[in-house]
Structure 1
Amino acid sequence: MLALALIPLPIAFVIFYFLRSSKEMPKTWREFVSELKMQGSGAMGLLEDTFMRFKNKVDLVKRPNKIVVMTGGNRGIGLYVIEKLLKCDMIVVLGVRNPEASKKNVDKVLGTDLTKDHVIYEKCDTGNMESVREFAKKVQTRYNAIHLLINNAGVMCTPYEETKDGFESQMAINHLGHFLLTHLLMPQLVAGSEDNDGLNARIVNVSSCVHRVTDLDYDDFHCKKFYYPADAYNKSKLAQVYFTRHLEGLFAQHELKIQNHSLHPGVVDTELFTHSATDYVPWVRRIFFKTPEEGSRTIVYAAISPELEGKGGSYLSNCAISRMHPKAWSPMECKKLFDYSCELLKIENFGFLEKN
């Protein structure tokens, strides 16, 4: 918002028009403010990506035969996350909407020499809680222990849609599906933490810098009273940060060798922007945004970097600990989101760690 205010009015209007989060113009003042917040946060994110470019590096540490479970990953940033993890000699289980098509795309981009026998594809739609449960069962059947969970699948600024479970789709896909999956796979993560070369098992939640410009509204959690795509997206990303913070407290309370991180991968040129007006000027994304490979680095850094060992609960950007929403420091705020998510998903005993 401040960044736009410092630009001459005609130029600011052009930027606003072509870089807005939705292809439709805001229709009300509240929508306009939401859009300004989104664009302001995005502008600051681009500046941070530019000035912190020298930090955005990750060393690939060998972790032979360690098991990774990741949602999404068949395109965009996820492809390069897979590539880096495979170069660490890890085994990757992908939860994707279309396993067959995903396998063809991953093999085409990365090559079968790298992926053969090291990438397993299973169906998982994080917006459908039944699908999440079925995916978790398949992982549990195949592996007694996993060492890394990457909650990566996501959508951004989509038109309003209510899922089969009655949830707003962005909150369901980006947060609630991953919340449920983490709950279901907690026994495998605990087992993995006990057989992990003395290191903590890890959970990585892919959030966004825009989580800083919103707040959660529990009276309208599914946006039935007010829906603006950017606002709903921001809220889903804030929920991921709150979840990360509270979960870290549970790990400490139960003295588990598990840590988790939330992160901003950067402003990246991917299909995530399909619903934004940047589709009208794709060359802008190619010039100014990170490439998918650059966007993958912070995710992999959060997943394997020895520098982060014992520093769970932190929020990362450009392969460094970064600032998060001020309320994320409040245990009460984080617990409120955690308890509300448990209530929505009918979870009475999260990961067997806590009774509500």
Structure 2
Amino acid sequence: MAPTSKDGPSRYIEAHKDPQGPGDARPTALQIIQDNGLLGRLTDKTFLVTGGTDGLGKETVRQLVKTGARVFFSARSPEKAEQVRNEILAEGTAGGDLERSRLEWVKIDNASLQSVREGIEDFLQRSDSLNVLIANVGIALTPHAVTVDGFEKQFAVNHLAHFLMFQLLQPLMLKSSKPDFHSRYVAVSSSAHMLSSVQIGNYNQDTKATERVDPLCSFTEDTYNPAVAYGQSKTANIWMANQIERQYGSEGLHGLSTHPGVIFTAGWAGFDEKAAAGLAQLFESDAVKASVKNVEQGAATQVMAAVDKELEGKGGLYLDDAHVADPLLEEQPFSFTGYKPWAYDPEGEVKLWRDSLAMVGLPDSSSHA
């Protein structure tokens, strides 16, 4: 049976029924931590957030340090990473000064699998535990580009890099899991998964995508469609979290995926012009304009997935607006809430997992898959 909002925390559902724009009554990431009574209470836990220098990632890091946990974040630029680290350290925590050792960064460029390997090796040399990995890095609706490894860039940055990270970190996450705090993998996905399912065997869009593509993507007849590429990568995020739950949930390692909501961050500047024009209609209604969140509110759902006590021991769930999302019918139009049926596809999830192992150069030796 498809998960619904009845399968998780419900205390914030009412606050989302009548949105009034950024800064309204909808919860922030800090409120999630406060409501869980976690300020200064996770001193024995370790988090790794990918992409911690901007937007949702930076806000997630900023609030997680207030739990007292040791927080790592990834960044491409050492200069920017150190700047953000010093900024957050200067702010301190609710309890006072923040120890410098509580906030660290690792250099990772998600567009390079070698960079991922080097960054995770650095992390493993510096930390003997990892309780939560938040896969936050993402690019959206970008013009066609191929990474140094030969993969379409949105698929590589949003999915493959995080897939490789998880494979390298999974033993430590299993080791770090405790009966009262299971390890969690949190995939920051998007309602954009509704634009396209995963194009099995056509990940690079070498031919025109046809597998469950939303009519909104008809703005171009080109073989490469930036909206399909983005939608595919976001569905892949959900599928990966689902497969993690299937493979490791019984061992105390859970996979969850999230949609932050509509937030205008720096990532919007890189949109493909044709895609931006073709999808502009999605943002024109008064209802959508009222649903826009600020960054503090946008980070709430992924922080909830990472620490909420009502989600302890649970996985295979897709969350939006700080609760488990409700299913939509395949024929329903695109929506910024809910999820399409293809978000849960056990057969596709297994195929993607095995293909991803091959793409990142790892053997398919898992007895789970």
Q: Which residue of 2 aligns with 1:327?
A: 342
Tell which deviates more after alignment, 290-299 or 115-124: 115-124
The answer to whether residue 239 in structure 2 is matched with residue 224 in structure 1 is no
Aligned CA-pair RMSD: 2.8
Which residue of 255, 258, 273 maps to 2:253? 258
The answer to whether residue 249 in structure 2 is matched with residue 270 in structure 1 is no
- 1:80-125 per-residue CA deviation (whole Å, 9 max, x = no partner) reads 1112111111111111101221221343366353453321111101
Contact 2:130 2:172 in 1 (8 A): yes
For residues 69 and 266 of structure 1, the distance between their equivalents in structure 2, rounded to whole angstroms, comes to 22
For residues 240 and 246 of structure 1, the distance between their equivalents in structure 2, rounded to whole angstroms, comes to 10
Q: Which residue of 1 aligns with 2:169?
A: 185
State the secondary structure of the residue aligned to 2:299: helix
What percentage of aligned pairs have identical amino acids?
Answer: 29
Q: Which residue of 2 aligns with 1:203?
A: 185
For residues 296 and 359 of structure 2, the distance between their equivalents in structure 1, rounded to whole angstroms, comes to 36
Q: Which residue of 2 aligns with 1:170?
A: 154
TM-score using structure 1 length = 0.77
Q: Give 1:159's aligned amino acid.
A: P
Q: Which residue of 1 aligns with 2:143?
A: 159
State the secondary structure of the residue aligned to 1:181: helix
Structure 1 residues 272 and 286: CA distance shift in structure 2, 3 A: farther
Shift of 1:258: 1.1
Q: Give 1:220's aligned amino acid.
A: N
Structure 2 matches for 1:7-46, cutoff 5 A?
A: none
Q: Which residue of 1 aligns with 2:367?
A: 354
For residues 302 and 345 of structure 2, the distance between their equivalents in structure 1, rounded to whole angstroms, comes to 25
Structure 1 residues 340 and 49: CA distance shift in structure 2, 3 A: farther
State the secondary structure of the residue aligned to 1:220: coil
State the secondary structure of the residue aligned to 1:120: strand
Which residue of 234, 243, 247 maps to 1:246? 243
Structure 1 residues 325 and 338: CA distance shift in structure 2, 3 A: farther
Structure 1 residues 243 and 73: CA distance shift in structure 2, 3 A: same
Which residue of 294, 315, 319 maps to 1:316? 319
Contact 1:208 1:237 in 2 (8 A): yes
Structure 2 gaps of 5+ residues are 1-15, 208-222, 327-338
Structure 1 residues 98 and 354: CA distance shift in structure 2, 3 A: farther
Structure 1 residues 318 and 347: CA distance shift in structure 2, 3 A: same
Which residue of 69, 75, 91 maps to 1:96? 75
Contact 2:85 2:104 in 1 (8 A): no
Contact 2:48 2:130 in 1 (8 A): yes
Shift of 1:197: 6.1
Tell which deviates more after alignment, 300-309 or 52-61: 52-61
Q: Which residue of 2 aligns with 1:59?
A: 33
Q: Which residue of 2 aligns with 1:35?
A: none
For residues 311 and 82 of structure 1, the distance between their equivalents in structure 2, rounded to whole angstroms, comes to 23
Contact 2:259 2:320 in 1 (8 A): yes
- 1:138-196 per-residue CA deviation (whole Å, 9 max, x = no partner) reads 11111222111111111111111110100001100000000000000011101110xx4
For residues 296 and 170 of structure 2, the distance between their equivalents in structure 1, rounded to whole angstroms, comes to 29
The answer to whether residue 304 in structure 2 is matched with residue 289 in structure 1 is no
Tell which deviates more after alignment, 326-335 or 134-143: 326-335
Q: How many residues align?
A: 302
Where is the helix percentage greater, Structure 1 or Structure 2?
Answer: 1
For residues 263 and 201 of structure 2, the distance between their equivalents in structure 1, rounded to whole angstroms, comes to 33
For residues 90 and 55 of structure 2, the distance between their equivalents in structure 1, rounded to whole angstroms, comes to 16
Q: Which residue of 1 aligns with 2:19?
A: 50
For residues 120 and 18 of structure 2, the distance between their equivalents in structure 1, rounded to whole angstroms, comes to 35
For residues 92 and 72 of structure 2, the distance between their equivalents in structure 1, rounded to whole angstroms, comes to 17
For residues 110 and 295 of structure 1, the distance between their equivalents in structure 2, rounded to whole angstroms, comes to 22
Q: Give 1:317's aligned amino acid.
A: D
TM-score using structure 2 length = 0.75
- 1:51-70 per-residue CA deviation (whole Å, 9 max, x = no partner) reads 89766451342211311111
Structure 2 matches for 1:82-121, cutoff 5 A?
A: 82-108=61-87, 111=90, 113-114=92-93, 116-121=100-105
Shift of 1:228: 1.8
Q: Give 1:263's aligned amino acid.
A: T
For residues 288 and 355 of structure 1, the distance between their equivalents in structure 2, rounded to whole angstroms, comes to 40
